[in-house]
Structure 1
Amino acid sequence: MVISVAAFGLYKFQFSQQDVPQTSTDNVTFIGEAVGAAPNFGAIENITVKKQSFFDYLRPGIELENQRVQKERARLLRIAGHFADEKLTGEDKDYAERLGQLYNVEVTTDGITKDWLDQMLHRVNVLPEALVLTQAANESAWGTSRFATKANNYFGQWCYSKGCGMVPLQRNDGASHEVANFKSVQESIHRYFMNVNRNRAYYDLREIRFDRQEQAKSLIDTQAAIALSNGLLKYSERGEAYVKDLQAMIRHNDKFWTDYNDLK
């Protein structure tokens, strides 16, 4: 389960993407769509069929989130270019303020700065499909957990206001957290992305990703998923054991992951 989750705003795509170039990571452009109601995964007895059904169900929603992030990053890079050329526009500043608010990196009275851009470029980036799908499988028991079926929560996200979700059956005495309730599975995916991309608990994951970007390494293949998982030590109280489980699952289910080389 997640140890700490930053406060989230309402789930909505709140930024206009008009005239934003559709740049790609690894020369791949993500095109996804919101997932609908989940199948009854518990009724699928064949393990291979269950895995394929689970991954195929969530994959379009994950691609939709990566598509959103790609567009945000493209706009951010354009703003960075304008900043370098000292040609920032009012539209740039307005967008930067809104995006900064979403990612918890405030644009101060100094306006857009090199430090602000650097922090944002660490946060606004894609996540590898294999990592997201593996965490969803691990946290939701392949879509069969009480939290997945009753609260649309596939990633074990916690919340801290009374009544915000479902009380865990084995919650420690004195603990106040609940497992967040979402209106849809797509909202759960969205909140997972925002959690990993802005929560200070996952700073290490973002640094690993940034380093891979600087070294021109893939951010979306299986090796990227394994590398970034090392930044999830604080996602579970199990720490390193949890990360090792994720890595073993990523390797074991390799045949299910999208081969992005086929899409280039």
Structure 2
Amino acid sequence: MSSGIRALWLFVPLVVFGFWGTLHTPDPDHDRDDETSDIALSKLPSLPDWSRADLPDFSTYRDTTEKKAAFFSFLYPRIVLANSRILIEREYLESLAGKDELSKSELTWLKSQAERLRVDEEPASEDMFRRLRNRLDVIPPSLVMAQAANESAWGTSRFALRGNNLFGQWCFSRGCGLVPQARVEGASHEVADFSSPYRSVRSYIQNLNRHPTYQRLRDIRLKARNSGDFASGSRLAAGLLGYSERGEDYVEEIRSMISYNNLDYYDEEFQNTVREDDPQGLFQLASAKQEKALLPGNTVADETSDEG
């Protein structure tokens, strides 16, 4: 084999690998550790202290059922926190869409959201509002939980323990994360590290909300919303074909995890807890002082009795 052909065979895998990286993984470089990265909005409360906690060591559990229960109990409040903040922003977006003229600060917020969610449309145009509605929306807890469990080995992977990374998210700046031990020679990606698991959840949701690979997921969600329905995690999983090179097999594995672990229960609880037409309720969820207040069966109102 000539040296030219050998060089080509070495080059092609790197090109394919690099192309796959643009599809498979989030690009959280712009949304990883900065605690002030939320776009300024007076309706959005400060993050509660518990959102900054590191990931517990789930490898200490010997009983699988207990480990799963602990994993879901840790993750669910962070999903509710992230989603409730999105719904506050969504409510504000709708208020702007109903105005004939926007103030300078309102227009700045709108442009910032468009930039964050990669919506390139005329500011305050109908097309901008339409596309932002499609992208500024929640991800059902069941899907978040199943993917987090799958990608992080139930919170026990090296990247989860050392980088609070629950979803295998990549970054592409030198030193932005942890170098994979089996990284292909010539590749430059790292597995992103986060200041907290909450930041990993937030970045994962943002990725599904803005990356072109997940347009199908967003379309399924929008169709359900327009019909007054809530898209379950199993339904949205159809839009994850590009998350893993395993394609359909990966989608079916996520769906199986949702079904086997009865994660639809958390979708139902989330629906019962969140009321988009109750701004005060969303504010309480987004600022809960104790994470247990967001667990199924509890309410934020219970916090007052706990504080004494």
TM-score by structure 1 length?
Answer: 0.85
SS in structure 1 of the partner of residue 98 of structure 2:
helix
Whole-Å separation in 1 of the counterparts to 2:262 and 2:28:
33
Q: Which residue of 1 aligns with 2:78?
A: 61
The question of whether the paired residues in 2 share the 8 Å contact of 1:33 and 1:60 is answered with no
Ranges in structure 1 where 5+ consecutive residues have no aligned partner: 21-30
Q: Which residue of 2 aligns with 1:208?
A: 220
The question of whether the paired residues in 1 share the 8 Å contact of 2:258 and 2:264 is answered with no
SS in structure 1 of the partner of residue 191 of structure 2:
strand
SS in structure 2 of the partner of residue 217 of structure 1:
coil
Matches within 5 A, 1:239-258: 239-254=247-262, 257-258=265-266
Matches within 5 A, 1:43-58: 43-58=60-75
Count of aligned positions: 245
**What CA RMSD, in Å, does the superposition of the two structures yield over aligned residues?**
2.3
Whole-Å separation in 2 of the counterparts to 1:32 and 1:138:
27
Is 2:158 aligned against 1:141? no
From the CA coordinates, give the structure whose radius of gyration is larger. 2
SS in structure 1 of the partner of residue 230 of structure 2:
coil
Matches within 5 A, 1:80-229: 80-82=97-99, 86-106=100-120, 108=122, 111-219=123-231, 224-229=232-237
**1:107: Cα distance to partner?**
5.4
**1:175: Cα distance to partner?**
2.2
Is 2:50 aligned against 1:18? no
**1:34: Cα distance to partner?**
1.4
What letter matches 2:25 in structure 1?
A: S
The question of whether the paired residues in 2 share the 8 Å contact of 1:52 and 1:256 is answered with no
* Deviations 1:53-100 (CA, angstroms, capped at 9, x unpaired): 001011111111101110110011111111xxx243333312211211
Q: Which residue of 2 aligns with 1:71?
A: 88
Whole-Å separation in 1 of the counterparts to 2:113 and 2:264:
34
Whole-Å separation in 2 of the counterparts to 1:161 and 1:101:
20
SS in structure 2 of the partner of residue 235 of structure 1:
coil
**1:102: Cα distance to partner?**
1.8
**1:32: Cα distance to partner?**
11
Ranges in structure 2 where 5+ consecutive residues have no aligned partner: 1-20, 275-308
What letter matches 1:51 in structure 2?
A: K
Task: Write 1 or 2 for the structure with the bigger share of helix.
Answer: 2
The question of whether the paired residues in 1 share the 8 Å contact of 2:121 and 2:127 is answered with no
Matches within 5 A, 1:24-39: 34=51, 36-39=53-56
Q: Which residue of 2 aligns with 1:28?
A: none
